[in-house]
Structure 1
Amino acid sequence: MTNRQRRGPAQRQDAIAEAVLAQGSATAAELVERFGVSLMTIHRDLDELERQGIVRKYRGGVTAQRSGVFESSVAYRGKSMREEKEAIAAAAAELVEPGMAIMLDDSTTALALARRIKDAGPLTIVTNFLDCLNLLAPVQGVRLIALGGDYDPLHNSFMGVSCVEAIESLQVDLCFVSTSAVSAGNACHQEQRVVVVKRAMLRSAVRNVLLVDHTKLGRTALHRVAPLGEFERVITDDGASAAALRELDRHKVEYEVAARA
């Protein structure tokens, strides 16, 4: 299906979001030409994407900040790097054994893992991610523990002091988290409120595993979540460059490269 073929508003808005992220910015006129719709329609689409926190409008166009709200939005994250996340989730699922207590963060990679292990019970699964809770709630063989707190619609998850206190009352066998950047031997993230929750999750687990697609390697973000040495292993995908893997080797990090289907 070409860009000029007829498509519904939601599908077109998804395509606009992906295009803007790939380019970094776009003018309304460019989007009109690309999608074959009116300028008024494009402005309506951009208004909706801005309302969702996915893009930022300016006079005549729109921008995407990779380290900002665009990247944080679960609406966007769920659509990006799908093949890579599925490959990483498949590798991570091999670490899960029946009877384990597992903690999952609010990453879409952890959600892909949840889909793979939901029938591997009996399991206890602990998460603050509403998407995971909705997925796992009806599943037999899974004891589901919801981490409450302040609901954050941008991430569709629960955070804050109450969430951290709930995490600190538990100890799990395995914790799977993802971060937005890996550099200089550290896993990092751009949002302080997210970092606080991830740190508490790592402290609550006997073993920790970092799930990051290749686009996160060599990137920087404001806050350090943890040194890579705190993870039993890092799982990435086969899009990782040789330089990025050499950097992991330099920091003596055990890692696994998952092959995409």
Structure 2
Amino acid sequence: MPDRGTSDQGTSDRGTSDRRGPRDEIRRGPSHRRREISDHVLARGSVSASDLAERFGVSVMTIYRDIDELEREGVLRKFRGGVTARPSGVFESNVAYRKTSMRREKAAIAAEAVALIEPGMSVMIDDSTTALEVARLLPGIEPLTVVTNFLEALNLLADERGLHLMALGGDYDPLHDSFLGVPCVEAVEALRVDLCFVSVSSVSGDFAFHQEQRIVAVKRAMLKAADRSVLLIDHSKLDRTALHRLTPLSAFDLILIDDRVPPDTLRSLDESGVPYRLAPT
């Protein structure tokens, strides 16, 4: 007679494998499946609907219903035959995906950025994941006033006694984990800071671009509120397109970029006359 304990353990092992059967998915329910679909796509960037159907042991029609709901929530985006977490010229990617992208480059840029900060300054950071890396390095630079609309940065710095933390309110946007809209813009306009760090989705020619108008409005207000502004960009954002033109590169006092920039692009920056600094990775 087979040992029940061994049989149950084998069932458990199969339940945690890469392929789950239909009974597993029925028991787990659609909400749990959608969370796992989201995690899977965020880890891989893009996945086909047929691959998801096979992985989760459900029909392609069910997967498309899941994808529709995840797109409605702003977590993922559909494309023909599948779903993606990657950005496009019109949509920015989810903050969870952006945090996994170009991490080494962003950390190198942040290390260069904090060298510009001195105790006693007021510093504003936007809701970019590159600026989040700057936020991780702020404890220890005291005293310091930090202003941001990025909820994750606020939570990260909330317990740091040496920092005076100012939250920019507005309409909470779960896709970006930040506060946006007219209230946020008005809150920024009421301030004046020493230094502002922002990032963008793309740089093309002599301009910085972003996909979303509501993000553009907040970033423009931040740049106007600062005595000095610094653009933080990794090399993957160069020569890409995005829908909205944010500002000329000449609006920034300095551009910080990782050292994996192609030589042709560096020549373009030299010709623009915009000061830049390469962050060694």
TM over 0.5, shorter chain: yes
CA drift at 1:16: 2.7
Q: CA deviation at 1:160?
A: 1.6
Give the SS at the match of 1:40.
Answer: coil
C-alpha distance 47-193 of structure 1, shift in aligned 2 (>3 A):
closer
| Partner residue of 2:239 out of 177, 199, 218 | 218
2:166 counterpart of 1:145 = yes
User: Could you tell me how far apart the structure 2 residues matched to 1:65 and 1:166 are?
Assistant: 28
One-letter code of the match for 1:66?
S
Using the alignment, how far apart are the partners of 2:159 and 2:269 within structure 1? Answer: 39
Q: Is the 8 A contact 1:133 1:144 kept in 2?
A: yes
113 and 27 in structure 1: CA distance in 2 versus 1, 3 angstrom threshold: same
What is the aligned partner in structure 2 of residue 172 from structure 1? 193
Which residue in 1 is equivalent to 2:273? 252
| Alignment pair present for 1:17 and 2:42 | yes
Matched residue of 2:107: which SS?
helix
The structure with the largest alpha-carbon Rg is 2
Q: What amino acid does structure 1 have at the position aligned with 2:42?
A: A
Shift, 1:59, TM fit? 7.0
Shift of 1:216: 0.8
* Contact 2:87 2:93 (8 Å CA) reproduced: no
CA distance 1:243–1:57, shift in 2 (3 Å): same
Contact 2:123–2:145 (CA under 8 A) maintained in structure 1: yes
Is 1:110 matched with 2:110? no
Change in Cα spacing, 1:228 to 1:59, as seen in structure 2 (3 Å) is closer
Output the TM-score relative to the length of structure 1.
0.85
**2:90–2:242: 8 Å Cα contact kept in structure 1?**
no
Quick one: distance in 2 between partners of 1:178 and 1:75?
A: 16
For 2:93 and 2:141, locate their aligned partners in 1 and report how far apart those are by CA, in whole Å: 30
Q: Where does the alignment leave 5 or more consecutive residues of structure 2 unmatched?
A: 1-15, 19-31
1:41 deviates by 8.9
Counterpart pick for 2:88 among 49, 66, 79? 66
Q: Which amino acid aligns with 2:58?
A: M
Q: 1:41 to 1:137 in 2, by over 3 A?
A: farther
Indicate the percent of aligned positions where both proteins have the same amino acid: 54
Q: Secondary structure at the match of 1:95?
A: coil
- TM-score when normalising by structure 2: 0.79
Q: What CA distance in whole angstroms lies between the structure 2 residues aligned with 1:6 and 1:31?
A: 14
Do the aligned partners of 1:28 and 1:39 also contact (CA within 8 Å) in 2? no
Shift, 1:134, TM fit: 0.8
Given that residues 38 and 75 in structure 2 are in contact (C-alpha distance below 8 angstroms), is that contact kept between their aligned partners in structure 1? no
Structure 1 CA distance, aligned partners of 2:79 and 2:262? 35
Distance 1:214 1:11 in 2: 31
1:65 is displaced (CA, Å) by 5.1
- Unmatched 5+ residue regions in structure 1? none
For the pair 1:75 / 2:96, whether they are aligned, the reply is yes
Q: CA deviation at 1:158?
A: 1.1
Contact 1:29 / 1:39 at 8 angstroms: preserved in 2? no
Q: Give the Cα separation in 1 of the matches to 2:140 and 2:180.
A: 27
SS in 1 for 2:137: helix
What does residue 212 of structure 2 align with?
Answer: 191
> Counterparts of 2:148 and 2:97 in 1: how far apart (Å)?
20
Q: Distance in 2 between matches of 1:225 and 1:14?
A: 31
After superposition, give the CA deviation of every residue in 1:129-186 in whole Å (9 maximum; x if it has no partner). 1111111111111001111112122111111221111111111110000000111211
Report the CA distance between 1:55 and its aligned residue.
2.7
Between the aligned partners of 1:81 and 1:52, the Cα distance in structure 2 is: 25
CA spacing shift, 1:105–1:223, aligned 2, 3 Å: same
Mapped partners of 2:189, 2:169: distance in 1: 12
Once the two structures are superposed, what CA deviation does each residue of 1:92-127 show, in whole Å capped at 9, x if it has no partner?
111111110000001111111000112211100011
For residues 59 and 178 of structure 1, what CA distance do their matches in structure 2 show? 30
Does structure 2 retain, via aligned residues, the 8 Å contact 1:212–1:236?
Answer: yes
